A and B are shown apart, each in its own frame.
Chain A
Amino acid sequence: MKLITLFTKNGAGLLESLGVHIMLVILSVLAGIVIALPLGIYLTRHRRAANVVLAIAGTVQTIPGLVMLGFALVLLGIGTLPALVVLSIYSILPILRNTYTGITEVLPAYTDAAKGIGMTKSQVLFKVELPLAMPAIVSGIRISAVYIVSWATLAGMIGAGGLGDWIWTGLATYNTDYILLGAIPSAILAFVFSAVIGAVEKAMTPRGLRRRS
């Protein structure tokens, strides 16, 4: 009950933070897609480069979020833009990895058949490989989005705005109200992103492949 009045009292401010948070997530995941999708496709054509690039991306992923944001703070300063740069970098790997494995795991029987009926290279890519890899790619986007909701709260540290601001203020002043106001909506937001993209993932699976798993 106390919780409800707490939320209604701060409704306007919270909605604004929620908007900023959603914007941060959408923009950085879009940036991740724009970079990772073509790169992933390129890597499937250059397997030797793939090992190197995926290893580097994997190493970047082990850098703790606090450290990356610390780098951004020192190098780029405070604000939404430095936060967006960090978040975009983080959103690349899951999409890249899933694009790569999604396409490489397309059975040769399908691509051979496609070549056999006279499809060009780009037709094979757009009409066979990408549609078959789409569930894996969308699943990568889902993993990215859930991560980014989490990293974005952390990015409150460098003044990104969003729901993280409330948690950081709460932690700094030991004010449980602020912590609840930031933490509960961000947890729900992560869950919503995961559920919505999960539904898209199901819808993207070609009909003929749906029953198998």
Chain B
Amino acid sequence: MSELLKAMGEHLWIVASSMVAATIIGVALGVLSYWRKKLGVFIIALAEIVQTIPSLALLALLMIVFGLGDLTLAIALILYALLPIIRNTHTALNELPPHIIDAARGMGMSRAQRLTKVEIPLSIPMIFSGIKVALVNSLSIAVMGVLIGSGGLGYIIYRGIQQRNMGRILIGAIPVILIALFFDWAMTKVQVRLSKHTNGV
């Protein structure tokens, strides 16, 4: 039991810290692609290509460069998380009604002020929904971390597979599935809450 809790803790820790990093990078790239349209097309196309790389291939390739361990898994999770976050940030910013941005401009706000005081706050529900998609995916991809020497629930599952022991596989798998379903449910609730604040726009 304590082994299971420890594995769950590791799993959540790796996923959570990767998602924090992915959010910072993803929102920054989303804003950049909003400010510079041509660069934006390139950034999103690149993130789409990264997304199509098979997870086993990406993990194995990253392992060659970064070696075995948690860091390599975290880098893979961040790379996969970028597309939903960049795309949602970019779409949210682009779909803001022009009159709001004009009003902010008319009040004499600088570009940075518009971004931090108007544009980002109004985009938060959609950015949040991108983070949700990324997080639920990451919980599942993180299982494969065991193949590159990282911890988490994947270790328990993989040992079960090697022993052809259905019970052991389930002991590792059920928490992964429940955690993913829980986050999907809880974050959808939060998202509905968040969008209530911005609906008047």
Chain A, residues 46-71, CB within 8 Å of chain B (1/0): the string is: 00000000000001001111110111
A154 an interface residue at 8 Å Cβ cutoff? yes
Chain B: interface residue count, which band? Answer: 35 or more
Task: Give residues of chain A (109-167) contacting chain B, Cβ–Cβ below 8 Å.
Answer: 146, 149-150, 152-154, 156-157, 164, 167
B56 contacts A146, C-beta separation under 8 Å: no
A179 contacts B160, C-beta separation under 8 Å: no
Separation of A59 and B64 alpha carbons in the complex (Å): 33
A167 contacts B53, C-beta separation under 8 Å: no
Chain B, residues 179-197, CB within 8 Å of chain A (1/0): the string is: 0110010000000000000
B180 contacts A62, C-beta separation under 8 Å: yes
A182 an interface residue at 8 Å Cβ cutoff? yes
Contacts of A70 in B (CB 8 A): 157, 160-161, 169, 173
B38 an interface residue at 8 Å Cβ cutoff? no
B52: min CB distance to chain A, Å = 4
B177 an interface residue at 8 Å Cβ cutoff? yes
A62 contacts B177, C-beta separation under 8 Å: yes
A175: min CB distance to chain B, Å = 10
A89 an interface residue at 8 Å Cβ cutoff? no
Contacts of B60 in A (CB 8 A): 167, 170-171, 179, 182-183
Separation of A201 and B169 alpha carbons in the complex (Å): 39
A191 with B161: in contact, given A170-B60, A182-B60 (CB under 8 Å)? Answer: no
B54 an interface residue at 8 Å Cβ cutoff? yes
Task: Give residues of chain A (62-113) contacting chain B, Cβ–Cβ below 8 Å.
Answer: 62-67, 69-71, 73-75
| Interface of A: prevailing SS | helix
Separation of A153 and B166 alpha carbons in the complex (Å): 22
A194 an interface residue at 8 Å Cβ cutoff? yes
A73 contacts B52, C-beta separation under 8 Å: no
A206: min CB distance to chain B, Å = 24
B52 contacts A66, C-beta separation under 8 Å: no
Contacts of A69 in B (CB 8 A): 161
Separation of A71 and B136 alpha carbons in the complex (Å): 21
Q: Which of B13-21, B113-121, B140-148 contacts A (4 or more CB under 8 A)?
A: B140-148
B161 contacts A73, C-beta separation under 8 Å: yes
Chain B, residues 128-171, CB within 8 Å of chain A (1/0): the string is: 00000000100011011011100000100110110011100100
Contacts of B104 in A (CB 8 A): none
Q: Which of B64, B176, B177, B181 contacts A176 (CB 8 A)?
A: B64
B89: min CB distance to chain A, Å = 20
B61 an interface residue at 8 Å Cβ cutoff? yes
A66 contacts B164, C-beta separation under 8 Å: no
* Residue of A with least CB distance to B56: A153
Separation of A157 and B176 alpha carbons in the complex (Å): 20
Separation of A69 and B166 alpha carbons in the complex (Å): 11
A66 with B57: in contact, given A146-B52, A179-B63, A187-B52 (CB under 8 Å)? Answer: no
- B residues lining the A interface (CB < 8 Å): 49, 52-58, 60-61, 63-64, 136, 140-141, 143-144, 146-148, 154, 157-158, 160-161, 164-166, 169, 172-173, 176-177, 180-181, 184
Q: List 20 A-B contacts (CB under 8 A).
A: A59-B181, A62-B136, A62-B184, A63-B173, A65-B55, A66-B157, A66-B158, A67-B157, A70-B157, A74-B165, A171-B60, A171-B148, A183-B54, A183-B58, A186-B57, A187-B52, A187-B54, A187-B57, A187-B58, A191-B52
- A residues lining the B interface (CB < 8 Å): 59, 62-67, 69-71, 73-75, 146, 149-150, 152-154, 156-157, 164, 167-168, 170-171, 176, 179-180, 182-184, 186-187, 190-191, 194
